[in-house]
Structure 1
């Protein structure tokens, strides 16, 4: 029998597969006790061949064990009806099934007809992983293929049983009860399975009453699983749209391609570190799956407003606009040649013989110094002593236009004040675009988080100049990730990447001395090595 290990009495996360026959919708207290023909409020399951499921009513005269089961069934319906996270639903369903069926282990599998596999979801911390088994093997696979329930007293005596999982885990399967799960249209969803009835170490066979209770539980499970799968499909659609939009942002700005994916991963690394912190100020901060998802979407879309920024600004590698330095050098060279021609013409008209001391060399040297200066200042390097004064002299001579002087006088980076304002406007544009999306309640802060990633705790950030804890914590996490990637990225044409230790020193200075970044977050970022990225990023 093909099985997956799913905890019985422990709250592990496993995978689910809805069940068999027409299924009742979320039954409440009235539904579970108000039908004379079916006292549990559930129609008796169809009697499949080989199972006696029509023996007695689901609720005979009051009996302690049966009353306990019915109460657990009712509690299960109440608890699971609102759960839309598929792997959490499966984990709770597995736990409840083991209690209701008084068995050592239970499993819920979902059917993947395209791959011809059964799969289950197992929670691991804040994430969930998927485990798959072939549909062609094991007792669960037989139920999924045929749509028929099975009740096996001795698994090893059944030729359909696959003992491989037992060999890997050391578990010994004895009794097995498994039923198919179906949606409201009768389509097969998967299998619900119970192993080893009895918790005293001695497994006994499942009986007809167990079959009826598992059929009732399977009917409820199928409704909840179908609902959760629909939510999951909507989530997958949103995930695909966000990912596609994020790739479009990277393609729009090839100079920083990969930036959004790296910032997203760095932000999630730091958020998980905050979640796992046991010391103040983070010991009471929890990152649920939904909050991590919200941060992930905000990080993937934080630069969406760059769609509205002009191309040459996004990839501006030099201080002058594209082609500007070539035009300026050519103009200065023409100035030198014009001066030479005019000087020679004047000397000849006066009957003088040109010589090296005629002033031609001095002027040519001045022009060459001007060419060397503007060429150096066009690169995004630091300002050298006397550069600005020399540029101002060139402007006063008429050798530089006002726009050229402004561009070459930029102290940091390559953008003029006007261009910088245009670039910084992408944050506001991102916010305006993101807030137009009808985000689900769990993701409603995506616009605000993205809006906050350039704010600084000392009020020097933009666009709102927020101070301290007025900045969303997730935005502060993104700010650290964004700055670290900007410093260390090797794909920026307008700057060289700095080594890790230098980037660390810059971030620590920003946090500890200037108070621009959250000091505890910066320490955690480096102490927990949140800066490490997968090789494919």
Structure 2
């Protein structure tokens, strides 16, 4: 273009010519710089490729162009195509697929594909500037001619530039078509200056694409490593499989719901893409401290379980007591018969047999009672605890022949756990996983966009009234996303069907418990209302709960919740 203007001015006005040339060069440099800055800031690959092509087209005043990217199997894949005069735009952010097969860089025998101009430029790392494709020798433009005939177009000047990064790796190819005279619009060849500008832009683009790819690869590696840790934690216990995967899913559902509301408490709440990513990562590692929690504590399905459920030992002792009762009955019968062989003892023996049956019945009832206590599904009242103590005082002869109490002190202590299956000491061990989680996460050198991960992941067992753990934080001391994870963690635990100590609860049961927790100042009240108002609970249920758990919820009966449309 500069050459065309120089010829048009007959060099009779050197100052004016210099001014025109200087202005055009300055504009190109400015555009090139602007594109370079934009490329470094762009994070979406499709948008990045589109920016490269549209930027090159604008700077060099081309009618159209194509960007190809190099594939691992040594092909050039069409990424974006556009021709302004034909109003054609495919690939990139358009969502319109490009209906052309990738171009092979090499033949079957390993020879270079020199007949295709894009492949030639890529393989030989050489810019190809063709003034007229129809007159070009050595390259196959049959496809171009066919396209032109079909579209009523004339493809003429081609500028094909390979994109190599700083490590001399092929990234792709930038191809521009039909340079236009800025004054007349006439199709002209690409100038040598245009070639240098395109090469400069291609170099910037290659670096930007490489950096973007590296960032994506490191991000993928990081996410994969985090997911691996989460999977290892879930796999550590067959009873918590999927928990570390489902909690971030539900947390992200809540975050998206909060960002999407246009009225109410959260109408001004928003999260950037990076903040959402940070929350997702925090969700995946929210229980990473459980890698140090003993399996027999995590998996403790019953009160007497250690490496096995010791209720089996208790069952054996009951059988011993039954055997001893039977032996005692037989001894009494023999003694009676020996003392009074001529007397009718049928009535006395019947009484002995009745007492024996009563003893067996009582032992069976006691056995069934201890089984129920062992499950941890019922609240242990003082009356129930007293009965455990009474049973423990039964006497039996152990394996060593010693007469001893039926239950050990440690067994009584476990069976009299008031709620659930864990003793206070075991509960402390479980709770300690949050301390370990925070210590582990705070020890990592995070990039700027992930620095809140420890805070977000470490607060899901805190309470709004400050009675939670491990730090006893109150509502105002916690971020909204951290409070979201608290609700997600509880709801997932309630609805999960893979826990050893309970069945997966229905939606109504889950929301009822959450509602009571809201009234008890355990969970965030506004987030609980959002959870129901935006039907986050239902979306999650349809995707991650069994159909038999998804009942018809009567929201008017959920504690602490008032439906929007109610008076």
Task: Kindly report which structure 2 residues correspond to 1:456-471, keeping only aligned pairs within 5 A, or say none.
Answer: 456-471=463-478
Give the equivalent residue in structure 2 for 1:327: 313
Give the equivalent residue in structure 2 for 1:406: 413
Give the equivalent residue in structure 1 for 2:359: 363
**Among 4, 26, 32, the residue aligned to 1:67:** 26
Measured in 1, the distance between the counterparts of 2:410 and 2:501 equals 20
Whether 1:440 aligns to 2:447 is yes
Task: Kindly report which structure 2 residues correspond to 1:240-251, keeping only aligned pairs within 5 A, or say none.
Answer: 240-251=224-235
Query: Number of residue pairs matched?
Result: 473
**Among 249, 260, 265, the residue aligned to 1:265:** 249
Give the equivalent residue in structure 2 for 1:279: 263
Q: CA, structure 1 residues 220+425, in 2 after alignment: closer, same or farther (shift >3 Å)? A: same
Give the equivalent residue in structure 1 for 2:540: 531
The superposition leaves residues 436-471 of structure 1 with CA deviations (integer Å, 9 ceiling, x where unpaired) of: 222222222222222112223233432222211322
Q: CA, structure 1 residues 355+193, in 2 after alignment: closer, same or farther (shift >3 Å)? A: farther
The more displaced of 368-377 and 463-472 is 463-472
**Among 372, 379, 386, the residue aligned to 1:376:** 372
**Among 300, 323, 335, the residue aligned to 1:337:** 323
Measured in 1, the distance between the counterparts of 2:174 and 2:430 equals 56
Q: CA, structure 1 residues 292+430, in 2 after alignment: closer, same or farther (shift >3 Å)? A: same
Matched position secondary structure for 2:174: strand
The superposition leaves residues 175-206 of structure 1 with CA deviations (integer Å, 9 ceiling, x where unpaired) of: 76442101124331112344676799x89456
Measured in 2, the distance between the counterparts of 1:424 and 1:293 equals 27
Measured in 1, the distance between the counterparts of 2:530 and 2:152 equals 44
Contact 1:299 1:478 in 2 (8 A): yes
Contact 1:320 1:407 in 2 (8 A): yes
Measured in 1, the distance between the counterparts of 2:279 and 2:154 equals 43
Measured in 2, the distance between the counterparts of 1:333 and 1:424 equals 38
Measured in 2, the distance between the counterparts of 1:106 and 1:520 equals 52
CA shift at 1:159, angstroms? 2.0
List runs of 5+ in structure 1 lacking aligned partners. 1-58
CA shift at 1:300, angstroms? 1.9
The superposition leaves residues 335-366 of structure 1 with CA deviations (integer Å, 9 ceiling, x where unpaired) of: 34324434654675574766232333333322
Instruction: Please tell me the root mean square deviation across aligned C-alpha atoms, in Å.
Output: 4.2
Matched position secondary structure for 1:76: helix
Matched position secondary structure for 1:266: helix
The superposition leaves residues 105-155 of structure 1 with CA deviations (integer Å, 9 ceiling, x where unpaired) of: 666443223363537598989xxx999962349875665456444567899
The superposition leaves residues 286-306 of structure 1 with CA deviations (integer Å, 9 ceiling, x where unpaired) of: 433332332222222222222
Measured in 2, the distance between the counterparts of 1:206 and 1:132 equals 26
The superposition leaves residues 72-121 of structure 1 with CA deviations (integer Å, 9 ceiling, x where unpaired) of: 21223344446676566445545544543445766644322336353759
Measured in 2, the distance between the counterparts of 1:306 and 1:223 equals 42
Q: CA, structure 1 residues 377+431, in 2 after alignment: closer, same or farther (shift >3 Å)? A: same
Give the equivalent residue in structure 2 for 1:37: none
Matched position secondary structure for 2:200: helix
Q: CA, structure 1 residues 525+161, in 2 after alignment: closer, same or farther (shift >3 Å)? A: farther
Contact 1:197 1:204 in 2 (8 A): yes
Measured in 2, the distance between the counterparts of 1:154 and 1:533 equals 60
